[in-house]
Homo-oligomer: A and B are copies of this chain.
Amino acid sequence: MAVTLHDVARRAGVSIKTVSNVINDRPNVGNTTRALVQAAVEELGYTPNLTARGLRSGRKGALALAVPDLALSYFAELAAAVIETAEAAGVVVLIEQTGASRDREIALLKSPRLNMTDGLIFSPLGMGQEDVEALRVDYPLVVLGERVFDAPTDHVTMHNVAGARAATDHLFSLGRRRIAVVGAHAGEVVGSAGLRLAGYREALAAAGIPFDEDLIGYSELWHRADGANAMRELLSRGVAFDAVFGLNDTLALGAMRVLQEAGRRVPQDVAVIGFDDLDEAPYAIPSLSTVDPGRGWIARTAVGLLLQRIESGGGDAVPQRHLADFRVVARESTVAR
């Protein structure tokens, strides 16, 4: 290996600078020289050393994406979209898992590992409002989600409140009135759990239905098993309900599973709606109604924003906030009885 610019230059009988110019197709190079160099590149099988280029130019051609856990479908699908978009721009993606731990999230933000990249797309789950300062970093950063407000960085996020409200309204439109929630985080205000719960409460208030704490199922994480456990607890509590709002699809699927184990028919006895519109939602049994939060748009916007920040040398343009469109996707789990 180790074919360098020098080798190509020697072979083509030109200077290393000219080769560099051809590689980065810069304008000021004669056509014959260009062809000569290109031939040499072919013959020698030259491929630029990205590390050296990165060291010299400061541009690494890589971005980092930090998510809680790739095994969570939502983040896997998000990552797939981010990688696809980045690849189209000739940028590679390095993935970090934080395990939704506040400490690991904060540690990651100042990790030397990041200096292999030009910037970070960060989806925090453990950090909160009190950690705003940790987001004041000296590299391009785009934050996904709404755990932290008034952060000094670009945000791309979804309509958590409005989406949750629409999901709840959808259940109301079927005539359901006792709507259980699965996946709430005790005391949380910011963050997807808090915001979606707020949307649920807004819908309740607008419909004149009192909020009933007994209908709220809590869980730390949002794995399928957490949805199942929360539903088991809800059932064992003996409260009556005719619908369930899973704060995400994974929770909803876990809950749906337990409901059916317990002999409750979905949607006849209990209607179920989730949030995320995972690829698998249409294939659940029954197919799962949900809120499509515009994941693809979010990925594309986040990558675009980050690349733009990188391009502009991280100038301190005023932080932007982008919101994806959402829509309720009605499937079998919320068919009217």
Contacts and interface: CB of A to CB of B under 8 A. Distances in A.
Interface in A131-184: 138
A225 B279 CA distance: 9
A7 interface: no
Given A51-B55, A51-B115, A283-B257, A71 B77 contact: yes
A84 interface: yes
Interface of A: 1, 47-52, 54-55, 60-62, 69-71, 73, 76-77, 79-80, 83-84, 87, 92-97, 110, 112-113, 115-116, 138, 223-225, 228, 253-254, 256-257, 260, 279-280, 282-285, 287
A41 to B, nearest CB: 12
A50 B113 CA distance: 7
Contacts of A55: 49, 51-52, 55
Nearest to A228: B283
A62 B112 contact: no
Contact of A73 (B73, B87, B253): B73
10 contacts: A48-B112, A51-B51, A61-B113, A69-B80, A70-B80, A71-B77, A83-B96, A254-B283, A256-B285, A257-B285
**How many of these chains are in the complex?**
2
B116 A92 contact: yes
A283 B253 contact: yes
Given A55-B52, A76-B70, A83-B95, A115 B47 contact: yes
Given A62-B116, A80-B70, A283-B257, A92 B97 contact: no
Contact of A97 (B51, B80, B94): B80
A248 to B, nearest CB: 13
Contact of A49 (B1, B62, B80, B115): B115
A5 to B, nearest CB: 13
A89 to B, nearest CB: 12
Contacts of A96: 83, 87, 92
Q: Which of A69, A280, A287 is the most central at the interface, judged by chain B CB atoms within 10 Å of its CB?
A: A280
Contact of A83 (B61, B97, B116): B97
In this complex, which of A48, A51, A76 has the most chain B Cβ atoms within 10 angstroms of its Cβ? A51
A114 to B, nearest CB: 9
A71 B284 contact: no
A83 B70 CA distance: 9
A252 to B, nearest CB: 11
A112 B50 contact: yes
B83 A87 contact: no
B224 A115 contact: no
Contacts of A92: 94, 96, 113, 116
A83 B113 CA distance: 13
